[in-house]
Structure 1
Amino acid sequence: MNKLKLYGFNNLTKSLSFNIYDVCYAPEKKQQAYIEYIDEAYNADRLTQILKDVAEIIGAQILNIAHQDYEPQGASVTMLIAEDEVIPSGMHSESPGPLPETVLAHLDKSHITVHTYPESHPDNGISTFRADIDVSTCGQISPLKALNYLIHSFESDIVTMDYRVRGFTRDIAGNKHYIDHEINSIQNYIAEDTKELYQMIDVNVYQENIFHTKMMLKETELENYLFEKESNLSIEDRLKIQNQLQMEMAEIFYGRNFS
């Protein structure tokens, strides 16, 4: 791909909103234990390391880090980072990137934010952990190369992703450019073996440089969704819980309640 010769700084803002949902069954007496487990598994230290890895993948230099865990749950992290002098090759190629509470990270004229939301259904024992990650960059670096790493950093049952390019940058002839790379789907930045595991839907508005993809796991083995293994569950109970889990995932994926 020929490099675009610019007049000054690349002013395009590339924003990725990445949301994951991890669904679990935890009966009422164990729901608090589940929330405490999630809070520990994704505390400020763990989330800070995830953001450090994201910064390295997209070619950003970390300038400063501050983080805080909260009571009774949640955490926040703030990073100041800038674009590295050396940008990883293939940053804008449509290909998967490498694999591997609240988090806020600031890039030089850009930012990264992460929030976590553990919650439980009041009656049926279904618990859902949600993590929201927003990466907004200016210059040559692209947040899309961090997708594979992020998907595998969390137990991702459902993933929703929005990518949009805003503003414009001007070339040396004075022409405005509203995007500086080719893209037809966020899916092109996800590894093939990962895509095989998920049902996927795209909603793209190409003329506005808006791209949306959502994913839901195809297979849901009950044993993978029990917070603690329940050997005494009857066949009837297991079927009921399985149906509740699938209903929860479908409602989140389609964004509406089913009767």
Structure 2
Amino acid sequence: MNLTPEQRVTLHGFNNLTKSLSFNMYDICYTKTKEEREAYLAYIDEQYNADRLTSILKGVADIIGAHVLNIAKQDYVPQGASVVYLVSEGPVVEVPTESFEESPGPLPDNVVLQLDKSHITVHTYPEYHPDEGISTFRADIDVSTCGEISPLKALNFLIHSFDTDIMTIDYRVRGFTRDINGHKLFIDHEISSIQNYIPDEVKDLYQMIDVNVYQENIFHTKCKLRAFDLNNYLFGHTKDELDPEEQQEITERLISEMDEIFYGKNIVMAGN
């Protein structure tokens, strides 16, 4: 609807719409040996441990104006971590008009949004291929809010918080709220694509595909980096240490891995 404050519909009671953002990111790496694989997993565990993830979720909470009620965090053995924030409405501030527009949200330098009962969670999943050639790190972040503002406004900050080769983003509005006449409202803002909440300079870096079900208020966007530099995917050495045949083989394996994640299906490589 993108209504100005003067145009906003008067509701009967609280805005009961639930808006859920699921942000999944993947980091892909080639680990030639068991030692490299173990070193990569140790690096990921340190880079995205429970304390670092807690800090990231704190930034999300600041952006959506949330008051943190409780934090649960855990580093797992042998790897991985989880953090759960239970939040409620934070200090009430005036919701700026631009909050209703399809545009990228802010980085966490001020509180600009408001919500009521809600939660924010993150779980990480380091894993590797049985032959130890490909290692993958996945982080799943869920932001669920009740009230006026879409958690998509935290998407810009989340993208900047992770080194991401592939992103899978889902957004859905559930339930309904009522105006003073009892008329149901199943969504309270216009949205044509999650891409409109991603800055142009980020969109330029990724190939993107949308799968949207507008009548159900379900939106899905997949993103994969356009550029490929083998040096960015080798852990502990550079491509100059590999002969051309090895470079080609590793490149094909990495691209195949990313394509499989992006398209959600296994791809049979030539010669396999």
Query: Which TM bucket (shorter chain)?
Result: over 0.9
- Runs of 4+ aligned residues of structure 1 deviating over 4 Å after TM superposition are none
**2:132 aligned with 1:134:** no
Local SS of the residue matching 1:223: helix
Local SS of the residue matching 2:100: coil
Post-superposition offset of 1:236: 1.1
Contact 2:18 2:175 in 1 (8 A): yes
The separation in 2 between residues aligned to 1:43 and 1:50, in whole angstroms, is 11
Q: Corresponding residue for 2:111?
A: none
Aligned Cα root-mean-square deviation (Å): 1.5
Q: 1:52 to 1:256 in 2, by over 3 A?
A: same
Local SS of the residue matching 2:104: coil
Output one character per residue of 1:110-166: Cα deviation in whole Å (capped at 9) or x when no partner. 221211111111125111101111111101232101111111211111111111101
Contact 2:208 2:224 in 1 (8 A): yes
Local SS of the residue matching 1:91: helix
The separation in 1 between residues aligned to 2:179 and 2:28, in whole angstroms, is 47
Matching residue's letter, 1:160? T
Post-superposition offset of 1:63: 2.6
**2:222 aligned with 1:214:** yes
Q: Corresponding residue for 2:40?
A: 34
**2:162 aligned with 1:162:** no
Post-superposition offset of 1:99: 4.0
The separation in 2 between residues aligned to 1:119 and 1:68, in whole angstroms, is 18
Local SS of the residue matching 2:20: strand
Post-superposition offset of 1:258: 0.8
Post-superposition offset of 1:108: 4.9
TM-score (norm 2): 0.89
For structure 1, the 5+ residue unaligned runs are: 101-106
**2:200 aligned with 1:195:** no
Contact 2:37 2:132 in 1 (8 A): no
Q: Corresponding residue for 1:23?
A: 28
Matched-pair identity in %: 68
TM-score (norm 1): 0.93
Q: Number of matched residues?
A: 253
**2:82 aligned with 1:80:** no
The separation in 2 between residues aligned to 1:254 and 1:36, in whole angstroms, is 28
Q: Which structure has the highest strand share of the two?
A: 1
Contact 1:216 1:253 in 2 (8 A): yes
The separation in 1 between residues aligned to 2:84 and 2:261, in whole angstroms, is 29
Q: 1:88 to 1:245 in 2, by over 3 A?
A: farther
The separation in 2 between residues aligned to 1:54 and 1:121, in whole angstroms, is 32
